[in-house]
Chain A
Amino acid sequence: MSDVPSPVAAASLPAAECRPGWPGRAGAAATLGIVAILPLVLRDSYGRGLLIAGALNVIQALGLDLILGFAGQLDLGAAAFYGIGAYVSTLLVMLAGVGFWPALALGTLAAGVMGGVLALLTVRLRGHYLAIASLGFAVITYQVLLNWISLTQGPLGLYGITPPAGFTDPVRLFYLIAACAVLVFAALRALLASPVGATLAALREDEISAASLGIDCRRWKAFAFAVGSAVAGLAGGLYPGFAGTLVPDAFAPADSFGVLAMVIVGGIGTLRGPVLGAVVLTLAPELLRGIGDARMIVYGLALTLVVLFMPGGLDGAWRMAAARLRRNQAG
């Protein structure tokens, strides 16, 4: 193109959304502050368990949103990668005597590799085929966990799993998992603000166009699946120490839909959305405990209603309300 620089031109572009302005920073600081205080407010073990479950859900929802929201790939197998991370890391500790941290890293890696391989195998498939194939992968993974009894103890499960040394206290364990969630959030945020974000958006919007720009859609689908699944695997590796036991039913194929609901209800294709969705959907059933077993009905209803009437989820509704407020103040 023209070699003549035109400084006027670049100056008239909309600002690059690279660094947050002061409201964003204040919001982030406030969020971190609340996270730090929460376990000191919720002092009973039930409340702290809820916090840990919420933090694990945040990590899972972020991983799925990378695949589903940012790369546009219909992944219905999130539970499988959560399970792979959990079983690989735990079995490495229990059977091979590997330390917790390297085992956690290897479990994360295993989930990522499996995610990448699944994506490469199904790379030619259109959206719905991928959805079914990933669901099928979750079914296979679940059945393997149930039936490979010599390794996993099958439905009886593995018992007596302890958190990593130094994190046996639930408050410290919560801080550890919350720190992982914050790290995952920050890493994804940086990654998506880089050209990788534009590349995944192109892949999501139109593969033929993307290829015409030099983008290798195969490679980037595998990338998104590998990274998103590794994130799920990380959550999986952190889970058994909290639960103390490991049974295949914690990774049933239908559990993927719970994570899916968090991403959709919070706001697909944003980073704030899955965090919001995971927190709300972890806490909401507890607030509605009066309705007992009906909580999953509320889950399903929320999922359907949000898709039909609030496609941007909570985050989208929040943005719209903020925009309206600004307009009203200006006018």
Chain B
Amino acid sequence: MFVLAVQQGLNGLVLGSLYVLVALGLTLVYGVLVQINFAHADFVMIGAFSAYFVTHALHGDYLLSLAAAGAVGALLGYLVNAAIFAPLLGKGSELRPLIATIGVSVMLENGALALLGPVPYAFATRYSAEVIRFGPLYLTAQSVIILAVAATAIVLLHGFLRFTFLGKALRAVAQDRETAGLMGIAPDRLIMLTFIIGSALAGLGGALLAPVLVLTPFAGTSVIVKAFAIVIIGGFGNIEGTILAGLLVGLIEAMTTQVLDPGLIDIVVFGLLLAMLVIRPTGLIAERREENV
């Protein structure tokens, strides 16, 4: 019983770190732009398909396909920011970019549907079958890769934000757009950089998820809906909170998956989300700001 619990905890950690990767992209963008990119979901899906085609059609290695998926995500992020967020920046509407990216999302999903069809793609890497045992516990090599890549990405991101000049400027923009201007960095470039990083994470997350996803053109939606919940539970724009919340949701899902239908897990996660919004709208790690008007 105890071993089972630990095993589920381990599985939850793997799942959670995938959610963290996807959610971090959302929260990074929200931090600097206070906008939501709804098409983020589809960057995840396209990242997953990129990995699929690199490994299955081009016979590339799975690890190589991860890099490709990240690059595709970065490119998509660049395009969406250049086409939508940058032109609408400073127009003072929180509604317009969100709705425009909902349009992009509908386009990408149905474009993928037209190209790839509705039948799920089976994606197995040679790492999925390889099992690594630790006493009574086991992980697939795929899970080990997920944990390693996610941890590396998180550590790199953290180091970037904390120790590099660009990273510090980025955090400054997140705090206050005017101050960042004073640091001599054009905010629009930082926003673009954030978009590229966040979207690369989405593509990477998609590639890591690909073997466990039901890989269809709508695969991103099921992930992103949880990512939204995670971002809110963690506090929008709050990186530490997002990591914590992502792992938490992964754990909850792994623990309940034994007893609950997957659809009911959505209810649990969103019930948690709604409860969170009502009780603590600022997220797990409170960062309460009051300003004079």
Q: Tell me if B277 counts as interface (CB < 8 A to partner A).
A: yes
Known: A147-B264, A264-B99, A293-B110. A304 touches B94 (CB 8 A): no
Alpha-carbon distance between A301 and B106 when the two chains are bound, in angstroms: 8
- Interface residues in B90-112 (C-beta closer than 8 Å to A): 94-96, 98-111
Q: B281's contact among A74, A129, A139, A264, by CB below 8 Å, is which? A: A129
Residues of A within 8 A of B274 (CB): 121-122, 133, 136-137, 140
Contacts of B101 on A, CB cut-off 8 Å? 304
Task: Report the minimal beta-carbon distance from A257 to chain B, rounded to whole angstroms.
Answer: 5
CB under 8 Å from chain B, chain A span 123-156: 124-125, 127-129, 131-133, 135-137, 139-140, 143-144, 146-147
In the complex the two chains form, is B103's CB within 8 Å of A125's CB? no
Q: Known contacts A129-B277, A300-B110, A307-B99; decide if A143 and B264 are in contact (CB<8 Å).
A: yes
Q: Tell me whether B137 is interfacial, beta carbon within 8 Å.
A: no
Q: Are A308 and B87 in contact (CB under 8 A)?
A: yes
Q: Is B201 an interface residue (CB 8 A)?
A: no
When C-beta atoms are compared, the residue in chain A nearest to B97 turns out to be A307
Inter-chain contact A302/B114, CB cutoff 8 Å: no
Q: Is the CB of A139 within 8 A of B270?
A: yes
Q: Contact check, B110 vs A136: say whether CB atoms are below 8 A apart.
A: no
A294 is an interface residue with CB less than 8 A from chain B? yes
- The minimal Cβ–Cβ distance linking A255 to chain B, given in whole angstroms, is 11
B45 within 8 A of A: no
Q: B residues within 8 A CB of A302? A: 103
Do A140 and B267 form a contact, CB below 8 Å, given A293-B113, A304-B84?
yes
Q: Does B261 contact A (CB under 8 A)?
A: yes
Checking A124, A135, A303 against B106 with a beta-carbon cut-off of 8 angstroms, the contacting residue is A303
Given contacts A143-B264, A293-B113, contact A260 B102 (CB under 8 A): yes
Cβ contacts under 8 Å, B273 to chain A: 132-133, 136
A287 interface residue, CB < 8 Å from B? Answer: no
Tell me the interface secondary structure of chain B in the complex.
helix
In the complex, the answer to whether A136 meets B229 with C-beta atoms within 8 Å is: yes
**Nearest residue, chain B, Cβ from A212:** B293
Taking a contact as CB atoms under 8 Å apart, the answer to whether A301 and B107 are in contact is yes
Q: Is the CB of B107 within 8 A of A74?
A: no
Cβ of B158 to closest chain A Cβ, rounded Å: 25
Chain A residue with Cβ nearest B112: A297
Partner of B102, one of A122, A296, A303, A308: A303
Residues of A within 8 A of B159 (CB): none
With contacts A121-B278, A137-B274, A143-B267 taken as known, whether A129 is within 8 angstroms of B110 at the C-beta atoms is no
Q: B236 and A122: CB pair below 8 A?
A: no
A254 within 8 A of B: yes
Chain B count of residues within 8 A CB distance of the other chain: 47
Partner of B103, one of A74, A121, A124, A301: A301
In the complex with contacts A122-B278, A303-B100, A208-B293 CB distance below 8 A: yes
Q: Least Cβ distance of B233 to chain A in Å?
A: 11
Contact assessment for A304 and B114 in the assembled complex, using a CB-CB cutoff below 8 Å: no
Q: Which residues of B contact A122 (CB under 8 A)?
A: 274, 277-278
Give the residues from 25 to 72 in chain B that come closer than 8 angstroms, CB to CB, to chain A. 30, 34-36
A74-B98, A260-B102, A311-B96 given; A144·B225 CB < 8 A = no
Contact between B103 and A304, CB atoms less than 8 A apart: yes
**A124 to chain B: closest residue by CB:** B281
In the complex, whether B172 has a CB less than 8 A from a CB of chain A is: no
Q: List chain B residues, Cβ under 8 A from A261.
A: 103, 106
A260 and B95 alpha carbons, distance in the complex (Å): 11
Q: Which residue of B lies closest to A69 (CB)?
A: B95
| A162 CB → nearest B CB, Å | 30
**In the assembly, what is the distance between CA of A260 and CA of B113, in Å?**
21
- A-to-B contact residues, CB < 8 Å: 68, 74, 121-122, 124-125, 127-129, 131-133, 135-137, 139-140, 143-144, 146-147, 208, 253-254, 257, 260-261, 264, 293-294, 296-297, 299-305, 307-308, 311
Identify 30 residue pairs between A and B in the complex whose beta-carbon atoms are under 8 Å apart, listed by A's number: A121-B274, A121-B277, A121-B278, A122-B274, A122-B278, A125-B281, A128-B34, A129-B232, A129-B281, A131-B98, A132-B36, A132-B228, A133-B232, A135-B225, A136-B225, A137-B270, A146-B263, A147-B264, A147-B267, A257-B106, A260-B99, A261-B103, A261-B106, A264-B99, A296-B106, A296-B113, A300-B106, A300-B110, A304-B84, A305-B103
Give B residues with C-beta under 8 Å from A. 30, 34-36, 83-84, 87-88, 94-96, 98-111, 113-114, 221, 225, 228-229, 231-232, 236, 261, 263-264, 266-267, 270-271, 273-274, 277-278, 281, 293
A-B complex: 8 closest residue pairs judged by Cβ atoms: A303-B103, A300-B106, A304-B103, A300-B107, A296-B110, A307-B100, A136-B270, A143-B263
